[in-house]
Amino acid sequence: MTAKIITDSGANCYTDVIGGVAHANVPLTLTVDGQSWDDDQQLDLDNFLAALKNTKSKTSSACPSLGKWLAAFDGADEIYVLTITSTLSGSYNVAQQAADIYLQDHPQAKVHVFDTKSAGPQMRLLASQLAVLINRGYDFKEVVAIMDEQIQHTDLLFALQELDNLANNGRISPAVAKLAHLLHLTVYGTASDEGKFEMLGRMHDSKKMYAKLVKIMEKQGYQGGRVLIDHVQCRDRADRMAAAISARFPSAIISISRCGALCSYYAENDGLMIGFEK
C-alpha cells in the first residue's frame, strides 16, 4: 500500500514529505484586487502580504476544486486527508466529494477525510502524528480511530492584533474588530470543539500577556509537550511567546514558522497561531 498524507493549505505545510511519509499540499485560493493567489510553494508571500495590506477592495478566499484534490490523491491507495475547520471553509466538503469519486475509480484504495476543526500549527501537529502511526505499521482503521482521538488531544490558541478580514467574513463582530484597532488591543481565543472562532478575551501586548497565554494553554490541557508557533510578520512576538512557554515548561519542544497565505489572510499582521499537544 502506498500511503499519503494530504493537507489543504490551512496547515501552512508545503513540504513533499512529513516524517518520511509522502505529503501533498492542496492550495486554497485568495483573491486580492482581482488577482488570484494559490497558497502553494510558488506563492511569493511577501508580495501577497503587501497586496493584502494595500488593497481597499473586497478580498475573498476559495476552497480547492475537486480537480485539485483528485490530483493530490493520484498514485496513492492509503490516503489520509486533513482539512481546515469546516466552519471556516468548504474545503472539507469538497475533499469528501473527491474521496467518493476517487474510490469509485480506485475501489481497492482507502481514503479518510478528517475535519480537524482547526487550522495552521494544530493541523501540522496532527499530520506529524499521522506519520508516526503510518511508520509504526498501524492498519488504516487503527490510524483513523487513533487520529479521531488525537484531534481532541491537540489544541489551538491565537493572539491577533488586526481583525478586519475575520469581521468582513462574518467570523467576529465588526464592533469588536473596531474596538481592538482603536485601543491597540490583542484579541486572543481558540477553536471551539465545533471548530468555530471562540474569543476568550482582549488585552494589551506586554510581557504579562505572554505569561497569561501560557496559563490559558495550561487550562486547556498543555503539560509541556510539543508546541508549534506560526506568525504573520512578527518573529519577535513568536520568540517572546516561545520564551514564556519555556520559562514555565523548560523541556517544551517549540518550533516557530511563518503563516502561509490563507492563515495570514485571517490572522493578519502581527498575528500568532499556537498549536500544542495536551
Listed ranges 55-64, 189-198, 218-227; the one with the highest mean pLDDT: 218-227
Placement of cell 502511526 in the chain:
133
Residue of 87, 7, 12 whose CA lies nearest to 273: 12
| Helical (H) or strand (E) element with 47 | helix 45-54
Q: Any idea which of 162-166, 171-175, 240-244, 265-269 has the lowest mean pLDDT?
A: 171-175
> From CA 86, how far away is CA 92, in angstroms rounded?
6
- Asked if 115 and 144 touch (Cβ cutoff 8 Å), the reply is no
pLDDT for position 187:
85
Handedness of CA 158, 164, 169, 173 (dihedral sign): positive
> From CA 159, how far away is CA 199, in angstroms rounded?
10
Q: Which domains does the chain have, with CATH numbers?
A: 3-28+63-152 (3.40.50.10440), 154-277 (3.30.1180.10)
Sheet containing 3-8: which strands, arranged edge to edge?
Answer: 17-18, 21-26, 3-8, 78-83, 110-115
Q: What is the pLDDT of residues 116-141, one digit of tens each?
A: 999 999 999 999 999 999 999 999 99
